[in-house]
Amino acid sequence: MKILPGFIAVLTLSSAISLSASAAEKPISVQIDQQKLNLTTTNAPLNDGHSILVPMRPIFEKLGLKLVFDAKTSTITATKEGLTIKLQIGSKNASINGIIKPLQTAPKMVNNVTYVPVRFVSEATGNNVVWNATTRTVEITSLQSSVDTAEIADFFKKYVSYSNEENYDGFMSLIDSKSPLTQIGPQLKEQYATYDLKNTVDQMNIIDVKTNEVTVHTIESSEKVSGPFMPNSQSENVYSLTRSSKDSAWKISNVQVQAMKYSLPEGVLNAAVTVPQTDEAAIKAVFAANIDFTNKEDLEGVQSTIDESSPAYEQNKVMAGQVFQAYDLQTVIESSKIIDYTGNEAAIYSVQTTKKLKGPQFQDNRTTMVTTLKKSADGKWKLVQSYPLSAEAITK
């Protein structure tokens, strides 16, 4: 199946143009049917960048499985009626009732505690799992009643057909007329006119069912086929679908974007981009000025480097003000490179480090990102939007 991450992108334009980092993250917690899994600070969940891992014994026992660990082979066997799950520390191959299943992250031993990937364990036991990025909570739920999954699948097939064909009327017909999402129409039209996107759904799970209401979790990917610069993206979303009666059509009443990851198309960093010397100097100057004003906590200066028509303009004003009140940070541009240029639009790739000088707990970090820029009618370059690509902690 496919879906429209571009529609998601319309809802979630990046606002962190001038901010290279965020405050220290909350600890990860796990909920099973809205009950918090009892974990201590010594066996807290881990995020390795690909998967959330949790201690094996608490999660398996809470899900009703009996657990056996063979120390000689480092093999974990979890069983309950009709189900046998096997994993091995260090191996990305697991099995469910003898059928081999690949893992994104292998089980691992940390401080004498064995950790396993929570998504695999949850889905292998017939449950559904969602990562709530806002609360940093792994939410595991079991279906409360049955639902026609084929009907939901058909809905998303129609959804992606309309979106990939850029059928505006068809697409909008799938949104509940009472939903605030209907207001997205003008932005969606603009997106259709500007871009041609290739969109896919990598995963789709029904995570809750009520009378004439279903909650669906998706992981979606998007690649640009044509149009101005846009990085590839992968988003994690939760949709609420509703209908007025059992015989009526499903409609989208709400969608929550829980996580968004960006990446560059293959070969972009190594491609040769020809930029007139005057524009190259102006682009790099306004980018550097944005960082300089940020370090000086000059909010008016920061805003002067951002395109006023960008949705990020007002959002950044609020976010930057909050960070300036809480912290004194120092950001340094380690390197930068213009990776896209069309005369009036450009994109610059950068590597930056951000360290705390004063303020509450904060993780110093190194980030990579792409920032898009636009030349105004008076010939001035300004920042439009930033896409964070990766981040790593600086420990020294």
Residue where a domain terminates, one of 238, 263, 288: 263
Q: What pLDDT is recorded for position 125?
A: 84
- H or E stretch including 108? strand 108-110
CATH of the domain at 116: 3.30.457.10
Residue where a domain terminates, one of 117, 135, 153: 135
Domain range for 198 is: 5-14+145-263
Pick from 110, 62, 51, 114: which is nearest to 87 by CA? Answer: 114
Q: What pLDDT is recorded for position 353?
A: 94
Task: Say how far apart CA 66 and CA 79 lie, in whole Å.
Answer: 5
Q: What pLDDT is recorded for position 12?
A: 47
Residue where a domain terminates, one of 263, 291, 317: 263
Q: What pLDDT is recorded for position 146?
A: 53
CATH of the domain at 338: 3.10.450.50
Instruction: Note whether residue 19 is domain-resident.
Output: no
Task: Quote the tokens at residue 111.
Answer: 């401080």
Q: What pLDDT is recorded for position 245?
A: 85
Which residue ranges of the chain lie beneath pLDDT 50? Answer: 1-6, 9-10, 12-24, 144-145
Task: Say how far apart CA 163 and CA 220 lie, in whole Å.
Answer: 13
Domain count, the chain: 3
Q: What pLDDT is recorded for position 20?
A: 41
Q: What pLDDT is recorded for position 124?
A: 85
Instruction: Note whether residue 23 is domain-resident.
Output: no
The answer to whether residues 243 and 159 belong to one domain is yes
The answer to whether residues 312 and 370 belong to one domain is yes
Instruction: Note whether residue 188 is domain-resident.
Output: yes
Q: What pLDDT is recorded for position 93?
A: 93
Pick from 109, 114, 135: which is nearest to 59 by CA? Answer: 114
